[in-house]
């Protein structure tokens, strides 16, 4: 089974790119972020015509997350527990049945946190909620994948100029500590389980020729529970789609698991 995450930065604007990539990379499950549309505006029919079922949690103009699956989607949950006042559409979770049993997958869009003085507390609080929810889900002892745009640069190898990012919300020490706290619950970060190569990026800003100069960041991740990690057979970043016309500033990150789809 091939599972991917992609911050598409407006699904309606990038629809042709997404459909082209789905045909080329043939993922079984796709977690999308930053839909930038309400749920009823999501181009569901186009994805169904491409062979995917859809679970969507949209929001007008901002945020929004979705799960695309070649297989039936069950038991969908939206919103991350822990704050009933949080109205931002940043989390969706569902079950997918396979021949090897149930697979739980979540698509998440973790807050950016910049500017730090204004928005960083919300980011840290959201990460605390994610950690608590993940801890509870791990007790189910099932394959579980937390996939999405984490807005977290895990290490110096994941950013083009580490010294220039130390006070940024994506790379502040508190951010990395929270991310490591999540990993230490028992998750495996798919890409880093397969390679320690530096300079592997999933995001390039639209400004200052970042793409042309390869001034990138790696902030999109797939975290695997132990029951999913022991089936990991490979991972990669589809960097080439960043060169397409009207690209997202993010590219897909994929993991292959030895799970037989129904």
pLDDT in tens, 49-90: 999 999 999 999 999 999 999 999 999 999 899 999 999 999
Q: Which domains does the chain have, with CATH numbers?
A: 2-257 (3.60.10.10)
Flag whether pLDDT at 189 surpasses 90: yes
Flag whether pLDDT at 196 surpasses 90: yes
Flag whether pLDDT at 171 surpasses 70: yes
Q: What is the mean pLDDT of residues 166-170?
A: 98
Task: Give the tokens for residue 36.
Answer: 């930038």
pLDDT score at 261? 61
Confidence of residue 260 (pLDDT cuts 50, 70, 90): confident
pLDDT score at 98? 84
Flag whether pLDDT at 136 surpasses 90: yes
Q: What is the mean pLDDT of residues 213-223?
A: 98
Active site amino acids: 109, 149, 250
The pairing of beta strand 220-224 with beta strand 188-189? antiparallel
**Rounded mean pLDDT of the chain?**
96
pLDDT score at 22? 98
Q: Name 107's bridge partners.
A: 92, 147
Nearest C-alpha neighbor of 90 from the set 34, 134, 131, 37: 34
Tell me if the bond preceding 115 is cis, omega within 30° of 0. yes
Q: What is the mean pLDDT of residues 120-133?
A: 98
Are 81 and 97 a contacting pair, CB within 8 Å? no
Q: What is the pLDDT of residues 85-105, one digit of tens each?
A: 999 999 999 999 887 788 999
Q: What is the mean pLDDT of residues 202-214?
A: 96
Binding-site residue set: 7, 34, 149, 151, 249-250
Confidence of residue 176 (pLDDT cuts 50, 70, 90): very high
Q: Report the distance separating Cα 109 and Cα 258, nearest Å.
A: 26
Binding-site residue set for Mg(2+): 7, 34, 149, 151, 249-250
pLDDT score at 259? 83
Flag whether pLDDT at 235 surpasses 60: yes
């Amino acid at each position: 089974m091939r599972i991917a995450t992609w911050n598409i930065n407006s699904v309606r604007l990038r629809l042709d790119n997404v459909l082209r990539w789905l045909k080329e990379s043939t993922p079984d499950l796709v977690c999308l972020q930053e839909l930038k549309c309400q749920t009823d505006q999501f181009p569901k029919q186009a994805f169904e015509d491409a062979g995917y079922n859809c679970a969507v949690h949209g929001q007008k103009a901002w945020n929004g997350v979705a799960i695309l699956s070649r297989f039936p989607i069950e038991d969908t949950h939206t919103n991350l527990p822990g704050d009933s006042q949080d109205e931002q559409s940043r989390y969706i979770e569902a079950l997918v049945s396979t021949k090897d049993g149930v697979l739980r997958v979540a698509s998440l869009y973790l807050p950016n946190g910049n500017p730090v003085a204004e928005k960083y507390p919300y980011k840290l609080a959201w990460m605390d909620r994610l950690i608590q929810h993940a801890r509870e889900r791990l007790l189910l002892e099932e394959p579980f994948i937390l996939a999405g745009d984490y807005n977290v640069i895990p290490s110096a190898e994941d950013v083009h100029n580490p010294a220039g990012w130390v006070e940024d919300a994506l790379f502040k020490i508190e951010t990395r500590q929270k991310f490591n706290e999540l990993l230490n619950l028992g998750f495996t970060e798919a890409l880093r389980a397969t390679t320690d190569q530096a300079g592997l990026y999933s995001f390039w800003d639209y400004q200052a020729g970042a793409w042309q100069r390869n001034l990138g960041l790696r902030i999109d991740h797939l975290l695997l529970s132990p029951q999913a990690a022991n089936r990991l057979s490979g991972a990669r970043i589809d960097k080439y789609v960043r060169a397409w016309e009207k690209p997202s500033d993010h590219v897909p990150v994929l993991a292959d698991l030895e799970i037989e789809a129904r």
